[in-house]
Structure 1
Amino acid sequence: MSSRRLRKKKLKAEINVVPYIDVMLVLLIIFMVTAPLLNLGVDIELPQSNARPVEQKKEPVVISMNSKGELWLKLEGAKNEPMTLDEMVVQVGAFVRNNKDVPVYVAADNDVAYQKVYDVLTALQTRANVPRAGLMSQPTGVVKK
């Protein structure tokens, strides 16, 4: 009997990693489900053009205008919701100040009035100090799904 008492139980000094693996799998599933939602854009029907595609070294800033004339900004850190012209000018101006050679494009729906597109281009050049702003178009013969 005395030999049993002398033997001390060894402490288990192991970390149980199964709960951590469960948490990581849940996080992985959450990220896999939400990742496609982060790239939602605006449905725009661009005008047709025979112009050649422009080669880009940097990711351009794209201001989208849907058929209602709402502005959407594709820029890192920009909220994915419609914004006013003033909000767009502030965000693009701040970005262009730090990244001078980044191209800026306006992608306006086919049904947007020319005056609204002109107002956006004018605001980009005069208020946001964008040296050059371009217009996006759909290549002729490409059918948008």
Structure 2
Amino acid sequence: MGMNVASSSGGGGRRSRRKPVMAEINVTPMVDVMLVLLIIFMVSAPLLTVGVPLDLPQTQAKSLEQNDQKPIQMSVDIKGKVFINDSEIAINELVPKLKAITDARGGLEERIYLRADKKADYGTVARVMGLLSGAGFKKLALVTEADQG
């Protein structure tokens, strides 16, 4: 019975042949997981915004979008003339006339639509807007056409 003593180091020769440990992180699996998560979130996000299905009661009340009154429309033409709906009015009579119309309709909270020719004098349009703002009309909307191009 004998012992085989081949080397005096005791550990054999395998340790010296091993590759050193890599300190770099392999990024490819992390990118793959991130892409899969991105696809899952992109597919599931529209499903989460559906909301709670409800069977709402039926009523005879009108919706808020319906309005029996014709909106107040102001216009400024190319010559600088000011119109309320379809009737021409002088600029100095503009505020008293509008206040009379809105008082008959229920107050200053009504929206006023302002239309102006694109070649109209900018100063006239700005003056009309300033008069309306100074008189307390806060809901002023500028009307434009949709771009066809």
| TM-score (ref. length: structure 1) | 0.49
Larger Rg: 2
Higher relative contact order (CA 8 A, sep 6+): 1
